[in-house]
Amino acid sequence: MPNRPTILVTNDDGVFAPGIKFLTSVAKKYGKVIVVAPDKPQSGMGHAITINSTIRIQKTNYHEVDREYACNGTPVDCVKMAVNNLLKARPDLVLSGINHGSNSSINVIYSGTMSAAVEGALEGSPSIGFSLCDYSIEADFTQAKEYIEKIIESALKNKMQKGVCLNVNIPKLKKEDIKGIKVARQAKANWVERFDERKDPYGREYYWLTGEFVNFEPEAKDTDEWALANGYVSVVPIQADMTAYQSLEQLKSLES
């Protein structure tokens, strides 16, 4: 079929991950699919880019798409390489995921999955990051297929605002228990972290990051955390602009 949209698919769990395999299988229904994904897991990389070492790409064929590459860089590197080197034109849609585990609330700033989607938006393409609230390697992505399709179809049909991408989180529920989609804002939440001090077999100290996720507004019904806790797929529009606009006027006294 002529003029099929070009869809770039990436992730942060690596090119072998079940999540990207499922997302790619869905994306093939809608257009010409190009996969550029990390050659190993890159979770928690945020918007990191590679500047002090080489970036290498290798043609692969794990997902039976139009073209596919494994990249030794970060998820953001993958998008940059695709847009600037591997594709002849800007992709019509960038999809990232499906991540194994939630990227709701504050997790969005640490997420390689969502940073790839943000980079896609910065490059001028409609972009969506998908995450399933299930860390298991055997996670069942099929339960939310109809919602994933609906969101992809909307992004291809309706113009998204420039520089804005979607953060989509899917609850760990059976298909019949998912109530629908809620467009929401990012909940005010944080990780209360600690570093466990341990010793290796040689007696040398090392640390392991652990922590507890705390939602500071559990009763607020307009947040992604509430939507997920109540059986909905959450959709949050996000952007790279981190300006605290409410503080601009307060800081005017600094000007000279």
Percent of the chain topping pLDDT 70:
99
Crossing angle, helix 18-27 and helix 145-157, to 10 degrees? 50
Q: Say which residues have a Cβ less than 8 Å from residue 125's Cβ, sequence separation at least 6.
A: 8, 83, 90, 91, 92, 93, 94
Residue 179, φ and ψ in degrees, nearest 5: -85, -20
Q: Would you say residue 247 has pLDDT above 60?
A: yes
pLDDT of residue 159: 86
What value does the mean pLDDT of the chain take?
95
Q: Say which residues have a Cβ less than 8 Å from residue 254's Cβ, sequence separation at least 6.
A: none
- Sorted by where each starts, the structural domains of the chain and their CATH numbers stand as 6-187+221-240 (3.40.1210.10)
Q: Which of 78, 84, 81, 82 is nearest to 115 (CA)?
A: 78
Q: Do residues 222 and 231 touch, judged by C-beta distance below 8 A?
A: no
Q: How far apart are CA 220 and CA 226, in angstroms?
A: 7
Place of tokens 């290796």: 200
Q: Residue 66 CB: number of other CB atoms within 10 A? A: 13
Q: How far apart are CA 236 and CA 227, in angstroms?
A: 11
> Which structure tokens are listed for 174?
């059976």
Residues 113-169: pLDDT tens digits? 999 999 999 999 999 999 999 999 899 999 999 999 999 999 999 989 999 999 999
What predicted TM-score, i.e. pTM, was given to this entire model? 0.94
Residues 177-232: pLDDT tens digits? 999 999 999 999 999 889 999 999 999 999 999 989 999 999 999 999 999 999 99
